[in-house]
Amino acid sequence: VIIVLYLEMCFCFFSCRPWKIKLGVKLHVDSAQSSVFAAKGGPATVPCRFWYEPEFSSPREVRVKWSWQPAAGGHETDVLVAFGSRTRTFGEGRVELRQDFPGDAALVLTELQLNDTGRYRCEVVDGLEDKSISVNLELQGVVFPYQHPRGRYHMSFLGAQQACEDQGATLATFTQLLQAWKEGLHWCNAGWLADGTVQYPITQPRTSCGGHGLAPGVRSYGRRQLRLHRYDVFCFTSSFRGEASVPSDKMNLTEARQACQELGAEIARVGQLFAAWKFAGLDHCEAGWLADGSVRYPITRPRTNCGPAEPGVRTFGFPPPQQKHGVYCYRAGED
Q: What is the pLDDT of residue 286?
A: 92
- The domain tally of the chain equals 3
Which phi and psi angles does 12 have, rounded to 5°? -65, -35
Give the chain's residues under pLDDT 70.
Answer: 1-23, 334-335
Same-domain pairing of 215 and 303: no
The contacts of residue 209 (CB under 8 Å, 6+ apart) are 188, 202
Residue 77 DSSP one-character state? E
Domain range spanning residue 162?
141-237
Same-domain pairing of 228 and 262: no
Same-domain pairing of 72 and 145: no
Same-domain pairing of 162 and 226: yes
**Nearest CA among 293, 300, 257, 296 for reference residue 273:** 296
Q: What is the pLDDT of residue 21?
A: 56
Q: What is the pLDDT of residue 14?
A: 47
Distances in whole angstroms, Cα of residue 134 to Cα of each of 237, 245, 310: 24, 42, 38
Q: What is the CATH number of the domain that holds 160?
A: 3.10.100.10
pLDDT digits (tens, 9 = 90+) for 250-264: 999 999 999 999 999
Q: What is the pLDDT of residue 9?
A: 38
Instruction: Select from 199, 214, 237 the last residue of a domain.
Output: 237
**Nearest CA among 100, 64, 106 for reference residue 83:** 64
Same-domain pairing of 264 and 320: yes
Q: What is the CATH number of the domain that holds 91?
A: 2.60.40.10
Distances in whole angstroms, Cα of residue 225 to Cα of each of 155, 161, 187: 12, 14, 22
pLDDT digits (tens, 9 = 90+) for 82-127: 998 899 998 778 999 999 999 999 999 999 988 898 999 999 999 8
Same-domain pairing of 243 and 233: no
Handedness of CA 71, 74, 75, 77 (dihedral sign): negative
Q: What is the pLDDT of residue 95?
A: 95
Instruction: Select from 139, 167, 198 the last residue of a domain.
Output: 139
Q: What is the pLDDT of residue 10?
A: 44
Same-domain pairing of 113 and 99: yes
**Nearest CA among 185, 173, 193, 192 for reference residue 217:** 185
Same-domain pairing of 133 and 153: no
Which phi and psi angles does 330 have, rounded to 5°? -140, 135
Same-domain pairing of 232 and 257: no
Q: What is the pLDDT of residue 13?
A: 47
